[in-house]
Amino acid sequence: MNLVDRLAAIVPVARQIEVAREIASLIASMPSTMGNNMFLRQSIIRRGTATSDHVIDGLAAWVTVLFDLANLQQDRDRAMGLEARIPKKALDRLARALSQSRNGCIIAVPHIGSLELFAAHLKDRGFNVGFVYSIGRQPTPTERWIYAGRSATAATPIAFARRNTGAEISRVLQNNGVVFMVVDVYPSGKYAGITVKSHDSDFRYPPGPARYARTGTLVLPGFASRRDATGFSMNILAPIAYRTWMPVQAAASEFTQEVAAHVDGFTAAQPVAYWLWHPVPNDPYFAIAQRQRPDILTAMPAENDEAVALAVEAAGVSWTAPDMSAPIRSAEDLSLASSALPETVS
């Protein structure tokens, strides 16, 4: 996070994609928790065994999200200068849904692409936007930095699993607003969530979208692509029908399963844009590997997060050098150079 924050100030937005991949390549060149988790997730969503390039793609997508957060904090106009491609019919669909809904709209999204830029562009197009996010009760410096970036979207940030979370969501919805909810995993170890089939196995999805749909809020699946040097794309699909004539539990299950089917399709269509790597409570990816893919677990090497951190720190010296026009050194060179680092540190 500190490295990306420094780099964002000196690396042109268009070139950040290249730098993100260099950082990802360095991380993937050595065994780490981050790399292993991305290998696990990419293997599951691709329904195979992820290659090194697949892992790098996913990690690069995450680093790109960090660049977006840094850009928003440092110079929002520069961050928003990227081309944001969204079909007019998608914007019309959202506006029509808001005019028909009794209580605002929810956009249900997976961990794919430039979600903060997605929210920011809708905000700048005149929509009242909020988004639900996870943050610790005693935020770490990294969480505070991410929160600052999300706040720079100008959308309303709503912390997940707080006493006032529901009230904050309702406040945006009641003002004819749009609330982004990331729905492809349920980050709660306390509550069960709703079990759905996704990636050919059981996943737990948050119950919130179905609960709000039952009260008349329209829920629309949406997604963003991973941005490239010039921009990114977004889309918003038609609202998902909630079957009010069914028993509440059955209706919530069927509704959430339809959300999951859309998310599964988004993820399968653009796995390179999938950036969730960190563990979540009752991690469904790890559970799938335990039950169905033990070969994935045995393929993961022992982690050495400290070595990776030292390598990234050493690489940061060259990446943040005044002459950023110089070619970035290869991940292999940086990994080899960093291997001598502990001997030179007092």
Q: Alpha-carbon distance 337 to 319, whole Å?
A: 14
Mean pLDDT of 11-20: 93
Whether the per-residue pLDDT at 340 is higher than 90: the answer is: no
Q: Which long-range contacts (CB under 8 A, 24 or more apart) does 32-38 make?
A: 32/303, 32/304, 32/305, 32/308, 33/303, 33/305, 34/59, 34/277, 34/278, 34/305, 34/308, 35/59, 35/308, 36/300, 36/301, 36/303, 37/277, 37/278, 37/279, 37/285, 38/62, 38/277
* pLDDT one-digit tens code per residue, 54-82: 999 999 999 999 999 999 999 999 999 99
8 Å CB contact between 206 and 298 = no
Query: Residue 223: its pLDDT value, please?
Result: 93
Residue 162 pLDDT: 64
Please write the tens of the pLDDT for every residue from 207-224: 999 999 999 999 999 999
Dihedral-angle region of residue 176 (phi above 0 means left; psi in -120 to 50 means alpha; beta otherwise): left
pLDDT at 317 over 60: yes
Mean pLDDT for 160-169 is 75
Instruction: Report the C-alpha dihedral over residues 268, 274, 278, 281, rounded to 10 degrees.
Output: -40
Backbone φ and ψ of 95, nearest 5°: -60, -40
Q: Which of 245, 144, 263 is nearest to 206 (CA)?
A: 263
Query: Residue 324 pLDDT > 90, yes or no?
Result: no
Give me the pLDDT at residue 94, please. Answer: 96
CA distance 190 to 203: 16
Diameter of the chain by CA atoms? 70
Q: What is the pLDDT of residue 161?
A: 66
pTM: 0.88
